[in-house]
Amino acid sequence: MSVKEKGVNVQVLLRCRPFSDDELRNNAPQVVSCNEYQREVSVSQNIAGKHIDRVFVFDKVFGPNAQQKDLYEQAVVPIVNEVLEGFNCTIFAYGQTGTGKTYTMEGECKRSKGGLNGELPPEAGVIPRAVKQIFDTLESQNAEYSVKVTFLELYNEEITDLLAPEDLSRVAQEDKQKKQLPLMEDGKGGVLVRGLEEEIVTSATTHEGEELIKCGKLNLVDLAGSENISRSGAREGRAREAGEINKSLLTLGRVISALVEHLGHVPYRDSKLTRLLRDSLGGRTKTCIIATVSPAVHCLEETLSTLDYAHRAK
Ligand code: ADP
Ligand code: MG
């Protein structure tokens, strides 16, 4: 039975970034190698007589030479098509800090500021490419449409609206305390964040009547650094932060395992992250996890823990 027939569609990809300039300067030994054809990632290293040699297989593997466009075309285009057909989908970037989550999701515009002729620069990541695909498709279909964007941060289990206009006087008075927004059930199996700004990016009036209306949602998630998960007994001050991040990442892992393994109980309610994404995880949705790792030896421990976490989600 295919994954689709089982009603669960979780795709797990692995991306290994190139060596950084620092790592190259220091001749950092390479411990990760990728075989894109076999969809395999191997980790090998000899430390003090202890030999580590492990191989992981993923749905897709992107090595250090993979371009933003390659990853987008091979992994994200089908998901955005699904959203345009009226389904809810989620794409996560998961990995240690510094391994390329933000590079993968947002990208970089170091040299080229914006693209020429409406083209995106080669370093553009998943988010700008998805926005372009959505508008290109909608415009070519000659259908009426409306697109809404929300942008929020979930930190220490508190939600802040990144699109809300900042009230500078209040920010000063309240010592930069951010306004927290409550999460509520919407009565239709989903949740809503009360008071969250919705920016209408462009719109056309939709006629009342018999027309077929499709409504899809795409969640693009740049997760907290996965090193928090192994550091739950953190130092003072950071203890709560690590604990809450840990809770979200662990719950996300459990929710995905429960969906993949068809367990009766899916613990969506155990963290705000999974409550927020409830209507976009499981059922007729597509989920894609992009796990990111560094090729270098100094990240070995975190790399193994990322590979284990991501592999469990398969
Ligand atoms: P994270 O968000 O996981 O903490 P970043 O996305 O900020 O990591 O990446 C760390 C650094 O590595 C950045 O300077 C970024 O440009 C670079 N980088 C990450 N992935 C790649 C990649 N695939 N190709 C080129 N540079 C990358
Ligand atoms: Mg980042």
Q: Is 5 among the domain residues? A: no
**Closest-approaching ligand to the CA atom of 22:** 1
Phi and psi at 123, nearest 5°, equal: -85, 0
When pLDDT is averaged across residues 128-147 and rounded to a whole number, the result is 90
Q: Are 190 and 101 part of one and the same domain?
A: no
The residue among 234, 268, 238 whose CA lies nearest residue 251 is: 268
On the question of pLDDT at 76 being above 80, the answer is: yes
95 close to ligand 1 (CB < 6 Angstrom): yes
Is residue 74 within 6 Å of ligand 1 at its C-beta? no
Three-state secondary-structure class, residue 65: coil
CA of 17 to the centre of ligand 1 (A): 7
For ligand 1, say whether the CB of 123 is within 6 Å of any of its atoms.
no
The Cα–Cα gap between 59 and 39 comes to: 7
Q: Which residue's CA lies nearest to atom 11 of ligand 1?
A: 98
Ligand 1 centroid distance, CA of 124 (Å): 12
DSSP string, 191-235: EEETT---EEEEE-PPPSSS------EEEEEEPPPGGGGG--SPP
Q: What is the mean pLDDT of the chain?
A: 85
Q: Is there a single domain that holds both residue 59 and residue 206?
A: yes
The tokens for 25 are: 């300067």
Residue predicted with more confidence, 253 or 157: 253
Of residues 149 and 169, more confidently modeled? 149
What is the Cα Rg of the chain in Å?
Answer: 21
What's the number of CA atoms in the CB half-sphere (13 Å) around residue 296? 17
Half-sphere exposure of residue 110: CA atoms within 13 angstroms, side-chain side: 3
Pick from 197, 220, 254: which residue ends a domain? Answer: 197
Same domain, 171 and 305: no
Atom of ligand 1 nearest to the CA of 103: 6
What's at 21, amino acid-wise?
D
Question: Would residue 260 count as lying in a domain?
Answer: yes
- pLDDT band for position 188 (cuts 50, 70, 90): confident
Whether pLDDT at 168 is above 70: no
Nearest CA to ligand 1 atom 24: 17
Closest atom of ligand 1 to 20 CA is 12
Q: Examine the domain organization and report whether 21 and 168 are in the same domain.
A: no
User: Would you say the ipTM is above 0.85?
Assistant: yes
**Residue 207 has what pLDDT?**
54
Minimum CA distance residue for ligand 1 atom 10? 98
Whether ligand 1 lies within 6 angstroms of the CB of 101 is answered as yes
Q: Is the CB of 63 under 6 A from ligand 1?
A: no
22 lies in some domain: yes
> Quick check: is 158 in a domain?
no
Ligand 1 near 98 CB (within 6 A): yes
**Within this chain, do residues 76 and 180 fall inside the same structural domain, yes or no?**
no
Please check whether residue 216 is in contact with residue 85, taking contact to mean a CB–CB distance below 8 angstroms: yes
Amino acid at 154: L
Structural domain of residue 178, as residue ranges?
A: 164-197
Q: What is the DSSP string of 45-61?
A: EEETTEEEEEEEE-SEE
Mark 35-74 as b/e (b = at least 16 C-beta within 10 Å).
ebeeeebebebeeeeeeeeeebebebbbbbebebeebbee
> Contact at 8 Å (CB) between 121 and 109?
yes
**Do 134 and 233 reside in the same domain of the chain?**
yes
65 found inside a domain: yes
List the CATH number of the domain containing 43. Answer: 3.40.850.10
Ligand 1 pocket mutation pick from 13, 65, 97, 103 by most atoms within 8 angstroms of CB: 103
**How many angstroms is it from 207 CA to the middle of ligand 2?**
41
Specify whether 255 is located in the same domain as 303: yes
**How far is ligand 1, taken at its centre, from the CA of residue 19, in Å?**
10
Ligand 1 in contact with 216 (CB < 6 A)?
A: no
Q: Do 191 and 212 sit in the same domain of this protein?
A: no
Query: 224, 97 in Cβ contact below 8 A?
Result: no
| Claim to verify: residue 48 and residue 99 sit in the same structural domain | yes
pLDDT band at 163 (very low <50, low <70, confident <90, very high): confident
The DSSP code sequence of 243-273 is: HHHHHHHHHHHHHHHHHHTT-S---GGGSHH
* Number of separate domains in the chain: 2
> Are 180 and 279 found together in one domain?
no
The pLDDT score that the predictor gives to residue 211 is: 64
| 35 and 146 part of one domain | yes
- Tell me the Ramachandran region of residue 142: left when phi exceeds 0, alpha when psi lies from -120 to 50, beta otherwise: left
Cβ atoms of residues 133 and 124 within 8 Å: no
Paired sense of beta strands 146-149 and 152-155, if any: unpaired
**Do 117 and 27 belong together in one domain?**
yes
Distance CA 22, CA 38 (A): 30
pLDDT band at 170 (very low <50, low <70, confident <90, very high): low
For residue 294, give both structure tokens: 């560094």
Tell me if 99 CB under 6 Å of ligand 1.
yes
Express each pLDDT in 197-240 by its tens digit: 888 776 555 755 556 788 999 999 999 898 877 654 444 555 66
Is 159 among the domain residues?
no
CA distance 218 to 24: 37
